[in-house]
Structure 1
């Protein structure tokens, strides 16, 4: 339902991206939220409203949410709160999107409690907020709900668009 709302909001035609979810989840040693998989399959990686980078790919170097495990990158600053970056088989956050304002959108996952993935968002000032909703509902609220604070961007009047990342067309 929420994935469909995002498709309608952006006017995006689903792209039918193929992802080997069994291999991805084996690498992470934790199942990913089903609606995130549908988002990835419909959108792939790219940018919403010219402001939100969605890491909806499992290959390549652009918009790839697996990149931190495939190539060590710097994690979110440790002084940003009580959460640690996820390590396969452990407990922590997995970042699936970010904004041009420095906001990070993640899940809080625990390999010992598979299937439980609340959305965890870190704002510009380093504050963390936890949301008990699906990835696609959270993303829709960020993009379209003017009252969704402190993470909503609808109040900025940005065009409701989605732009696929480089290589999304096979190039």
Structure 2
């Protein structure tokens, strides 16, 4: 039976979305050059209503400030676009079917399930190799959600910080990239 490779924790969980973005910009120096000239003004109420849950503030701020981008030519971060929110939600529903399949194949000691199951997994990023980066939802609210990594090699692991902090820690090496390649700090629009 497969099980989690483990759990990694940040030294201090960043709860302020602005601070999390600043830490990511420091870890990925080229990111600031991709910053949009103005916030994209996504209709988050619509996204969250259609999805059935609020989303973490750090992710929403990241998506307001930056286009879809890739880190190290490996990990892609995307999100809703203003005026096309429903398409992102539809894509998320399709991705949840893939997550359900991954969960079923994982054969973990404690089975996992996609959102909307209690504590369910909700994808927020992916790799060009088929790895999933997921939130583990929490009834305490999206600011308490943590990250679960489901690698294409069937290694699953957890990170107890938020998504934006995870990206920064992954690039800087503060987090071991269990079953993933080292993520370089180069960034490009995807």
TM-score band, normalised by shorter chain: 0.7 to 0.9
Q: Quick check: 1:22 aligned with 2:40?
A: no
5+ residue gaps, structure 1, are 166-171
Higher helix share: 2
CA distance change for structure 1 residues 134 and 65 in 2, over 3 Å: closer, same or farther? farther
- Normalising by structure 1, report the TM-score: 0.75
How many equivalent pairs are there? 158
**Which of 29, 45, 67 pairs up with 2:91?**
67
User: Displaced runs of 4+ in structure 1, greater than 3 A?
Assistant: 58-62, 71-74
Q: Quick check: 1:113 aligned with 2:140?
A: yes
Please identify, of 2-11 and 130-139, the stretch whose mean Cα deviation from structure 2 is larger: 2-11
CA distance in 2, matches of 1:126, 1:113: 28
Counterpart contact for 2:122–2:134, Cα < 8 Å: yes
- Normalising by structure 2, report the TM-score: 0.69
CA distance in 2, matches of 1:119, 1:147: 12
Counterpart contact for 2:96–2:115, Cα < 8 Å: no
CA distance in 2, matches of 1:74, 1:29: 16
Please identify, of 125-134 and 10-19, the stretch whose mean Cα deviation from structure 2 is larger: 10-19
Q: Quick check: 1:44 aligned with 2:67?
A: yes
Please identify, of 91-100 and 112-121, the stretch whose mean Cα deviation from structure 2 is larger: 112-121
Q: Deviations over 1:45-64 (max 9, x none)?
A: 232222111122253799x4
Question: What residue number does 1:148 align with?
Answer: 176
Q: Quick check: 1:136 aligned with 2:141?
A: no
Question: What residue number does 2:153 align with?
Answer: 125
Please identify, of 135-144 and 72-81, the stretch whose mean Cα deviation from structure 2 is larger: 72-81
Question: What residue number does 1:160 align with?
Answer: 186
5+ residue gaps, structure 2, are 1-18
Return the offset for 1:65. Answer: 6.2
